[in-house]
Structures are given as structure tokens and as C-alpha cells.
Structure 1
Amino acid sequence: MKNSLLALLFVASASAASAQTITKDSTLQKAILDTARYDSLMIRMANGDKRWPVKKAPLPLPGAILPFNRVVAYYGNMYSKNMGALGQYEPVEMRKKLMAEVKTWQAADPSTPVKPALHYICVTAQADAGRNGLHNLRMPFSQIDKVIEMAKPINALVFLDIQVGFSDVQTEVPLLEKYLKMPNVHFGMDPEFSMKEGSVPGKRIGTFDAKDINYVSEYLAGLCKKYNLPPKMLVIHRFTKRMVTNYQDIKLRENVQLVMDMDGWGGPDLKKGTYKYFVQGEPVQFTGFKLFYKNDIKPVPHRMMTPEEVLKLKPVPMYIQYQ
């Protein structure tokens, strides 16, 4: 009798625990699967292009930034005023200018909240082979720490970007884990300076394959699971076909959001053409668009595209980068 009572109590307890688990999972599933707003935003992002949104994309886990927000980032390196706005201005002025751009984008699309970001090149490609022979220069952690601190006053996201040179993502990405495990730190990778064929960076345009991108996204996904993080964004720069090979083999994950960023400069017609053929025409998941304060206006009478013009693209970019 005693054993039967214990058994009944065990079953009742197990049932209660199971019910709690089901309730908890159901709540989580509702957050993931009750996705009327998500689906609506993705269709709006497609802007009439039937290839978008991509059908293979899994639903994002809670905490995903895209497509619920647009990210507007300043790009650069702290050691160079020529690599972008991030390193061109003193921190206070830089933040002021960035937030002015954020305000402009918010006015251009009031329905999409805008998040500021600092996109920092923490591994830069070099013409000189250097001590490691890899034609890259890894920024000291003290500089990355400064960028992390610079982001705090405006609650900005941080992207760490790598130009691997003769190295590879398998070598470079794990070195940044102490930062990538932070919830507000995301990642960028630049195929232009991945010199698989052995050319000196800057002499030819480099390339990443889907395998390289899949390694990075799997690594980021692993960090999200290990440290219970919200989904990470992964930005891949692109302005030629060869820069990203086998795009159709890129794997999408529920805790990594891939952004193919149109990285070319020039006048509006050239930029729109590059976007059409190399980003819109080879759908992955989300898209980005880079605007150059200097290079887009050369030669005269070229000009930088306005937010209103960028918002007419198909699909609509959810990540905007200023250099």
C-alpha cells in the first residue's frame, strides 16, 4: 500500500512537472511560432521580390534583432582615420554624428526602430607579411576594450570584423571568444581580404566560401547555446560574385542572423546594380548596404544615396553601414 501510494505520488509529481514543462515550452514556442508580426515584417522587407524572404530560413529564437529593428553602424579602426568614421573622429563627436544618422533613418522609416552600432575592424589585412607571415594585424585587446566602452553611452551594439589575409576564420574567430560571448557583440567577415590564392592583400579581391561562413555561424551558434545568449548577427561584406562562393550552401540557424552587406562604392546607379546582382540575386537571409562619406561622391557629380532611396531596394536592407 505504501509503495502504491508512493508510486501515485511520483506519477502525480511527474505529471505536474511535465505540465509545467509543457506550459513553459508552450510559452517559448508561442514566442517563436506565433509569428504574425515576424512574417509581416519579413514580407515587408522583401518589398515585392518573390525570392525573398528565403524559404529555408528557420524562425529566430527570442531576442533576435532582425527584422524587428534596423541597425545603423559606423565602421572603422581606431588606428586609422582613413578606414572609416569610427576612427576618424574623437569618441564624443563620433557618437554625435552616428546618432544623427540614426535619427535620420528613424525619420525615413518610423515603423522600424533603429539601433546604433560600432563596427570595428579588429583584424586588418596588411601588404607586409608581418611577424606571423599571415599578412594581417590583430588589434590589441586594449583597443577592442576601448570600442566596447565607446559603445556604452549610446547603448550601441558592437561588431568585430576580421580581414584574415593569409590566415583563416578557423584561426582568427576563436581568438575573439572573450568578446563574442558578450550579448551585445556581433561579428563581421570580409572576403575582400581573404587571400586563399596567395596574393598580397589589396592586389586582388579575396574570397570566402560557404564552408567558411558556415564555420563562423556554427561557432557563433555554439556560443549562444553555451552562454545562453540571444541570436548573433553575422555580417558578410560583398561587392563581386567571386567574393562569396556556393552561397546556396550557406546554412541558416535559429540563433545566428546572416546579413549579406553590399560593400561597393560609387554613384547610386553603380551601387544599385551591384546590390541587384550580387546581393538581391543570390538570397541568403538579410541584407545590408554600405554608404561611403568620401568614395560615394567621387567623381563629381556622384553623390551618396539617401535613406529614402535605399529603402526602395528589393529587399530592403536591415543593416546600414557608414564608412
Structure 2
Amino acid sequence: MRSRRVPVRGAVAALAGLVLVASCSSGADGGDAEPTSASAGPQQPVLAAPQAGVVLVADADPAAAAVSASRALFTSSPVVVVAPAADPLPEDAVDAAEQLHVPLLLAGGDAGALTAELDRLGAQQVVLADGAPDTGLGDRDAVPLTDELPGVTAPEPLEGVVALSSGGPETAAAAVTARAAGAAVADTAGQTDPRASAAAVDALAGTRPSTVLALGAAFTGAAGLDWKTATAATGEQLPGGGQLLFPEHFLVAMYGSTEGPALGVLGEQGLDASIARAQQFAAPYAGLLPDRTVVPTFEIIVTVASGSAGPDGNYSTELDPEALRPYVEAAGAAGLYVILDLQPGRTDFLTQAKLYQSLLELPYVGLALDPEWRLGPDQVHLRQIGSVGIDEVNAVVTWLADLTRAGALPQKLLVLHQFRLSMITDRGRLDTSRDELALLVHVDGQGSQPDKQGTWDALHQGAPSPVYWGWKNFIDEDSPMLTPEQTVQQAQPLPELVTYQ
């Protein structure tokens, strides 16, 4: 190793955590970087063309992660910044790597790995931060990081590359190298599902990347990163923001039919008045639950249980999805979530769900299955309480999850109405593996509060996991109906959806 001293450089920018940064060929002050040459002339790093798709950089060791990021993003670099493996990283080292647009590597770990990466990069000069040992540098010109930096011509920044950093200390140097290469970097604050991180959604939507670097051991084993990053890259958000429903959101719904008041409060007034009333139902919960985003919601009965067989013989009247569209789209435009409720009679839930695919392709529309109105071949409504087998429910889970993934849609709600265990047979086999969906059991008991609480507790016993929960307040049938304050206090564990009927 050859070593020489260089005068002290001016102030450096502090690293204030890994946040979304769209890097370009500029210095810390936003202008073009103009490092002073300490060698024969300007030198230029060569950036790699990272492979398309999701590239996992899951090294638990910070020095190893720094090497992995360098290998993914740089083909060569005549100058490299080397810093000690400290937490936090030295600010001047971070600043130098980003201004020079060169990799930041860490010393103090595997000296052989550091040497090998410097060899691969063809590094002729190492800018050595204070405190970094000089082992592993080989016979290279070591320039102490002081004032005057080597002359480096910045490469054209990478396009179409986003780095998602889990935010752990093992990702810090790798994230700096990504920014130095021109990638957009987002700190996901430990979230491994990019749909759950506003920073990730912003970075992915703003870049529409062909390559995503997942930086951090936390991403090891994270399922579905490919389709989740594709979904986040759409930038499409749910009412209230984000792409995942829970636990961020708390839904407060009005239930009923657009055809009139007989089936619930939703049909007791016109569309504009219904939107305003849904907002009024939701408003008290915003003050009671300051850590949640309260979202007013419509639950619209789109297939209505019928006392007669009808032309198709299924004892269910299916509303025209295109006739419903103006109602649904107006609700979505007003910031409401919309749930389409199925009362299928003698047909099956999947057959009816497919009738409403065009509405379910909207990002703010979910689905509800109401087994009370699912009849057997010889049954008719109101003579017995209906039921559904779990295989039929799981067929809907598969279809709706596939639809959500194919459309790169935000997470979609699937509600299962239930007030008796017998309404969903073999419920323990519910397919909860598809996190394109948020599955919610909606407890529909009515009457006295002790009876409702008993039903609530009973349905929680042995429930599949993970599922979310809904509580229903019957305006006329409950004795008494709970206030919003009482609902939050007494419906425990706290549900994610409260419905008014």
C-alpha cells in the first residue's frame, strides 16, 4: 500500500437516515460535483446493468452487504471509498462516496473479500476514512479522507433501479453505494412487503424500475417480492392511503341495497346523501382511534336473496354491474371503500362473484360472502339458515387473489359473514395464505348486548389465522345499539370493520 496526505476538505453533509432519494450526478449542495484531481486526470466508474427483477442483497454482515451491492451496481471503479464498519457510518465517508459516485466498502471484516472486490473493480486508489484499517487494500494508493478528493468523472446515473433498504445497520453502506450509482433508495423501516411502506410505494411508482435491490437480511424468505413490488410500482392507493388494508385502516360501513330502504340504511336516501351519511357514521371513530385511518364504507347487496326461484331458478336476484357502476365509482371518488355483498341462493359464490369482476377490478372495491343466504338444492330462504362449505369459500379466495395479483391491485377485502359456526363448515381450513387479500370474519349477531357478545366470543374460538374481524350494529334490532364509544370499548379485541344496518 502507498499512502500520502491530502489537505482537509470543507464541510460534509450529514446522513440523516436512509430516506427516499432520487440520486443524480450532483454534490451535497445540489450542484454539480467538482472534485479536485489529485491524480493524473479524471477517472470514470463504469456502472453495471443489473439483472431485471428483484435482486436480493441479504447479507447479515455490513461489509459483505457492501461488497454485494458494489458487485450488483458497478462493473469497475478506479476510486473506492473505504470506511470502518461502524454504526452509524462516518458522515464524511458517506458524503465522499455519493459525491464521487463510487462504491463505499467497509474494512475491518473479511480482508480477503475486500481485496477481491477492489481487484474486481480495478481500483487504483482508495479514499480511506478515518478509523478504517489499511488491511485488505493491497498495493494501492491510499488517500486519507480529508479535504481534496481524487478527480472522478461521474457516470450517467442508473435508470430504472430502486433499492429498498430494510433500514438495519447491515444495509447502510449498500444503500450509499446504490445512491452513488444513481438508484432511488427507500428505507422501508423494517417492512419486507413494499406495499406496506409509503417510501417504497413512492420510490417504485416514481421510477417504475426494471430492477429492485432488496437490501437487508430481513428480506430473506419474504414471499412474493416480485408481484408485491410490481403492485407498489403502480402507485395505486386505497381510500385513506397505502396499499394494505389493516392494521392501518378502520372501516365504518353502511349496509344495504341501492334499490331502496327495505334491506338497510344504505338505501334510505339518494347517492349523495348516502355518501354524506356514511361519512357521518365514520366521523366519531376518527376521534376515538387516532392511530388508525378511519374510512367510510358502503357494503352494497348486489345479489339479493329472493323468495321466488326467478328465471334462473337460483332464488337470487343479480343486479346489473354496469347499472351499479356509477354508484360505486361515485363512492370511490368521494374516498369511500366499497364492498359488494353476495346472497347467492341456490347458486355458488364463485359463479356470482365472477359477474362483478369488472367492478372488483377497481382498487377500492372488495367482496363479501353471506352464507346465511346460501341455499342447498331443495332449500328456500327464511325456512332455515344457509351455510357454505369451506372448499367453495376457498375457490373464491383463489379467484379473487389471482384477480388482485394479475391487476397489480392494492390488497382487497374479502368478508365472510357469520353468526353461527355452522354457517361455514370446516372453517379451520380457510386458505389464509394469499396476502393479496385481507380476510375478515364479520359477526352479524343482533339482539341484546350479552347475546351479541356471546356470539362474538364464540366465533373467535378456534378461528383460522390470520383473519380480521367485523362487528355489526343493528339500528332497529339491537337492544340497545352501542354508541361508537361503547363499540370501541366493548367489542374486544377491537374489530377492523364496524357496520351499520
Alignment TM class, shorter chain as reference? 0.7 to 0.9
Is 2:251 aligned against 1:74?
A: no
Residues 428 and 462 in structure 2, CA contact (< 8 A), matched pair in contact too = no
| Separation (CA, whole Å) in 2 of partners of 1:217 and 1:82 | 30
Q: 1:233 to 1:25 in 2, by over 3 A?
A: farther
Partner deviation per Cα, 1:161-198 (whole Å, 9 max, x = no partner): 10010000231111111111111111001000001252
* Structure 1 counterpart of 2:342, from 156, 162, 186: 162
**More displaced 10-residue stretch of structure 1: 139-148 or 198-207:** 139-148
Partner deviation per Cα, 1:8-42 (whole Å, 9 max, x = no partner): xxxx855x336984476862877596279x99xxx
The match for 1:177 is 357
**Which residue identity lines up with residue 34 of structure 1 in the other structure?**
Q
Q: 1:18 to 1:283 in 2, by over 3 A?
A: closer
The match for 1:34 is 191
**Which residue identity lines up with residue 500 of structure 2 in the other structure?**
Y
Is 2:44 aligned against 1:17?
A: no
Deviation at 1:268, TM superposition (A): 1.4
Partner deviation per Cα, 1:28-64 (whole Å, 9 max, x = no partner): 877596279x99xxxxxxxxxxxxxxxxxx9996611
Structure with more of its chain in helix, by fraction: 1
The match for 2:441 is 260
Is 2:475 aligned against 1:293?
A: yes
Helix, strand or coil for the counterpart of 1:294?
Answer: coil
**More displaced 10-residue stretch of structure 1: 68-77 or 27-36:** 27-36
Q: 1:233 to 1:31 in 2, by over 3 A?
A: farther
The match for 1:311 is 488
Residues 310 and 317 in structure 1, CA contact (< 8 A), matched pair in contact too = no
Deviation at 1:274, TM superposition (A): 0.8
| Separation (CA, whole Å) in 2 of partners of 1:106 and 1:183 | 23
- Aligned ranges 1:1-323 → 2 under 5 Å: 13=48, 16-17=50-51, 21-22=55-56, 27=164, 31=188, 34=191, 63-196=243-376, 198-252=378-432, 253-279=434-460, 281-284=462-465, 285-296=467-478, 302-312=479-489, 313-323=491-501
Residues 78 and 143 in structure 1, CA contact (< 8 A), matched pair in contact too = no
**Which residue identity lines up with residue 339 of structure 2 in the other structure?**
F
Higher relative contact order (CA closer than 8 Å, sequence separation 6+)? 1
| Separation (CA, whole Å) in 1 of partners of 2:387 and 2:461 | 19
The match for 1:299 is none
- Counting aligned pairs with the same residue, the percent is 26
Equivalent pairs counted in the alignment come to 288
Residues 332 and 338 in structure 2, CA contact (< 8 A), matched pair in contact too = no
Residues 158 and 186 in structure 1, CA contact (< 8 A), matched pair in contact too = yes
Residues 193 and 205 in structure 1, CA contact (< 8 A), matched pair in contact too = yes
**Which residue identity lines up with residue 454 of structure 2 in the other structure?**
G
Q: Which runs of 5+ in 1 are unaligned?
A: 1-11, 40-57, 297-301
Helix, strand or coil for the counterpart of 1:259?
Answer: strand
Deviation at 1:270, TM superposition (A): 1.3
**Which residue identity lines up with residue 293 of structure 1 in the other structure?**
I
Deviation at 1:99, TM superposition (A): 1.0
Instruction: Give me the TM-score of the superposition, normalised by structure 1.
Output: 0.81
Deviation at 1:307, TM superposition (A): 2.4
Residues 280 and 315 in structure 1, CA contact (< 8 A), matched pair in contact too = no
Q: 1:311 to 1:129 in 2, by over 3 A?
A: same
| Separation (CA, whole Å) in 1 of partners of 2:492 and 2:482 | 15
| Separation (CA, whole Å) in 1 of partners of 2:283 and 2:291 | 13
Q: 1:217 to 1:20 in 2, by over 3 A?
A: closer
Residues 237 and 262 in structure 1, CA contact (< 8 A), matched pair in contact too = yes
Deviation at 1:136, TM superposition (A): 0.5
Q: 1:136 to 1:32 in 2, by over 3 A?
A: farther
Helix, strand or coil for the counterpart of 2:421?
Answer: coil
| Separation (CA, whole Å) in 2 of partners of 1:32 and 1:144 | 40
Residues 105 and 114 in structure 1, CA contact (< 8 A), matched pair in contact too = yes
The match for 2:18 is none
**Which residue identity lines up with residue 164 of structure 2 in the other structure?**
T
Residues 124 and 164 in structure 1, CA contact (< 8 A), matched pair in contact too = yes
**Which residue identity lines up with residue 71 of structure 1 in the other structure?**
L
Q: 1:142 to 1:17 in 2, by over 3 A?
A: closer
Residues 332 and 364 in structure 2, CA contact (< 8 A), matched pair in contact too = no
Residues 195 and 207 in structure 1, CA contact (< 8 A), matched pair in contact too = yes
**Which residue identity lines up with residue 470 of structure 2 in the other structure?**
G
Say which one has the larger Rg.
Answer: 2
Q: Which runs of 5+ in 2 are unaligned?
A: 1-46, 58-160, 167-186, 197-222, 233-242
**Which residue identity lines up with residue 97 of structure 1 in the other structure?**
R
Deviation at 1:236, TM superposition (A): 0.8
| Separation (CA, whole Å) in 2 of partners of 1:96 and 1:216 | 32
Q: 1:31 to 1:257 in 2, by over 3 A?
A: farther
